[in-house]
Each structure stands twice: as structure tokens, then as C-alpha cells.
A = this chain, B = another copy of it.
Amino acid sequence: MQTGFAFTKLADRLATVAELSADDFDLVAKMPSTISHFSSHDHILRTEDPPSSCCCLLLQGYLCWQEQTSGQITSIHVPGDVPDLHTVVSPKLHANLTALGPVVVAFVPHAFFREISVRSPDLCRALQLVSLADAACLRNWVSNLGSRDSLARAAHLICEITFRLRAVGLAKEYRFPLPFTQSDLAAACAISAVHANRVTQELRKRRTLQWHARTLTITDWHALVRLASFEPDYLGLRDSVARRGYSSYSPAPTEPDRAAPSHRTSMPGRLGL
């Protein structure tokens, strides 16, 4: 596991949407932050919480926005994301920000984002682009829920997560920690937990992936992409970054589904600060 300072996660993410100069990088490096750890299904932010003056930069693990009443998950976030970036402009929350598995986050003052926006047009644009990418993701989820059957929905979700992880340098070898419960998957794909189980079994049966011990291994990326009709354009990644999603893919070494998980990418680990 590569260790690093919290700001590097943000810098990596911003670099996926815009080219950053050395000066930009130095500005980001001044990021003040408070590191916090959370356990699975903890609420990082609740609808009823008072307005905060910080944003939440995800360093490790997964976060999701989840509707209070229906339990529907409306978006999933990966390291480098700032799920509540919009609170810099308007502090209102309409859902709960929930941990999917153990997570490490850095709380970063709103003022920091305002400052780098003012100081660097590049960084301002990069922040706007990640906001737009979030919106584009949501639009894609609407079409995902609206037009795909449950199997393709789940496949699409996994494609999206894989692609976004790879954009920020994770999910090498198409194997990565995915500490979701099947109920979490169900809440994201808008299917029942029972059906989520049947869908994951079908994905396993088709030899597209293995998912065991909170680790997911994609064994046939192209088949998964085809099944999901996955078109990563909407993620707004720079061409050079998007190429990471596809390049250098060779099927992961096949092992029995119940084999011991890889140690390389075990999660959670300490953030090296």
C-alpha cells in the first residue's frame, strides 16, 4: 500500500480531470486537514446535522449518499472524491453520507477550496470539473436504473467503481477491496437483497468476477464491460487517464472463488501520515 499525505489523494483526483502545474501542486500541498476513521455503515454526515465549515475528502474506502427514508443509495465515492464539495456553496444536506466498509477521511475547511480556486484558475477549473463529473455520474445512474435489468445494473456499478479506482491509481490488476454487503449492492442497484444475491451468483457463474472475503477480482473485464454496455466517457476523465481503465488488462490469474484474498491491497490499513 502506497503511503502518502492526505493532499496527494486530492491532487491525484484533480489530475484526472485537468493538468496541474507544479505551482498548483504546491498550493494543494498546503491543504489543512483532520483525519478521521469510520466503521462500516457509520454516518459521516446526517441530514439533520448543522451546517459544517469543512468538506470531507475520502482517503481510503468507500462512501455513499443514502436517502434517509428509502435507503436508496444515490452515489458511491472512491478515494480522492470530495462527496460534499457542494456544501462550499450551499450547506444544505438532503441525504446521509454513509461509510460502505471501513473508511479514512480528511476533513478540509471550505476556506481551503475557496482559496485555491481564487489563487489558481487551473485548480478552480479542476474543482468545477470534478463537480460536473459527479453530476454526470448521477445522470448516468438515472439511465442505469431506468434502462438496464438488474444484472446489467450491477455489472455497470462494478465497471464504474473499477474505472474510477484505476483513474486514481488503485485497483491495479483488476483486484481490489470491496467491503460492501450484498444489501449495500442492492440499495445501490435498487433491487432487493435477495435478488442482489442471485445477481452476484450469476456474475460469478459467468466467470466475470470473483467476490469473496471483501475482495473483488475481475476475471473477465471485457465481458463485464460488454454486459454493462459500459461507456466511460461520462466520467469526464482526461484521455491519458481514461486509457488506464482499459490498457494493460490481462485476465487476473484464476483461482478458486474461495481462495485466500490477496495481501497486496488489503484494507483497511493506516494512512501513512
Contacts and interface: CB of A to CB of B under 8 A. Distances in A.
A146 B142 CA distance: 9
Contacts of A183: none
Nearest to A137: B138
A72 interface: yes
A231 to B, nearest CB: 9
Contacts of A247: none
Nearest to A146: B190
A65 B69 CA distance: 28
Interface in A80-101: 86, 89-90, 92, 94-95
A156 to B, nearest CB: 12
A137 B69 CA distance: 17
A258 to B, nearest CB: 32
A182 to B, nearest CB: 16
B95 A139 contact: yes
A236 B86 contact: no
A96 to B, nearest CB: 12
A72 B125 contact: no
A236 B91 CA distance: 11
A119 B69 CA distance: 42
A70 B228 CA distance: 13
A227 interface: no
A236 B94 CA distance: 10
B72 A147 contact: yes
Contact of A135 (B67, B95, B135, B147): B135
Interface stretch (A3-11, A126-134, A204-212, A214-222): A126-134
Given A70-B143, A75-B142, A94-B139, 5 more contacts: A67-B147, A70-B147, A72-B143, A75-B139, A89-B132
